[in-house]
Amino acid sequence: MISSNDFRTGLTIEVDGDIFTVVEFQHVKPGKGSAFVRCKLKNLRTGGVVERTFRAGEKMPRAHLDHREMQYLYRDGDSFNFMDNESYEQTSLGLDQLGDNIKYLKENMNIYLLTYNGALIGVELPNTVELKVVEADPGVRGDTATGGTKPATLETGLIIQVPLFIEAGTVIRVDTRSGQYLERV
């Protein structure tokens, strides 16, 4: 059991039979009345985000997830094949299980499979990935004064906004949590 006073970002808890991870939280101590914790929770099964308020000190069960490191091997139609780094067993996941994470997958990339009580909950990508820019409009001379951005297509098919100086063939680092450009590599 964990107290609502001990919430932190990334903590997994069990609420109403579902598994949630804490996205953001705030302890509130009003002038009158008792303290409470306002938080945003992300459902790990559906991906939906809900806002909940808990009394300060309210206890709830903590959800312990199993993390298995897997290596992405290849895509076969609508299925994605992974290999366990310890036992070398191969596992195939579908598009529905991976969701938007397929936009960041490169061959030979290590990810974590999240399971709860033997059931697959989802995947956890590294916080940043290095991807090659395949297509980007050329920057026009003089446009850099305002610090503008332009769309660029990456090797996985993901389209993001990048600074004007980025050209096709450049390798960049992308944040997988927000989908934003971080830096040139």
DSSP SS3 for 62: strand
Kindly report the CATH number assigned to the domain that includes residue 97: 2.40.50.140
Inform me whether the pLDDT recorded for 18 exceeds 90.
Answer: no
DSSP SS3 for 20: strand
Average pLDDT in the 34-63 region? 90
Same domain, 72 and 50: no
CA distance 69 to 83: 9
Same domain, 136 and 120: no
pTM: 0.73
Give the model's pLDDT for residue 100: 82
Same domain, 116 and 152: no
Residue with tokens 């993901």, as numbered in its chain: 158
Same domain, 6 and 49: yes
Beta strands in the chain (DSSP E): 2-3, 12-15, 18-28, 36-43, 49-55, 59-60, 66-76, 79-84, 90-94, 110-116, 119-124, 128-136, 149-154, 159-163, 171-175, 181-184
For the chain, what's the residue count?
185
Question: Each residue of 158-185: pLDDT tens digit?
Answer: 999 998 888 999 999 999 888 899 999 8
Last-in-domain residue among 20, 40, 60: 60
Question: Each residue of 104-163: pLDDT tens digit?
Answer: 999 999 999 988 888 888 888 898 999 999 999 887 666 556 678 889 999 999 999 998
Last-in-domain residue among 77, 105, 124: 124
Same domain, 114 and 91: yes
Percent of the chain with pLDDT over 90: 47
CA distance 3 to 62: 9
Q: What are the backbone angles phi and psi of residue 99, rounded to the nearest 5°?
A: 65, -135
Same domain, 137 and 179: yes
Average pLDDT in the 59-75 region? 91
Mean pLDDT of the chain: 88
Same domain, 26 and 53: yes
Average pLDDT in the 54-71 region? 90
Distances (CA, A) of 183 to 130, 132, 170, 174: 10, 12, 11, 7
Last-in-domain residue among 96, 124, 152: 124
Which residue range forms the structural domain that includes residue 148?
A: 128-184
Reported confidence tier of residue 70, pLDDT bands at 50, 70, 90: very high
Report yes or no: 76 and 86 within 8 Å, Cβ to Cβ.
Answer: no
Same domain, 70 and 106: yes
Kindly report the CATH number assigned to the domain that includes residue 50: 2.30.30.30
Q: State the total domains in the chain.
A: 3
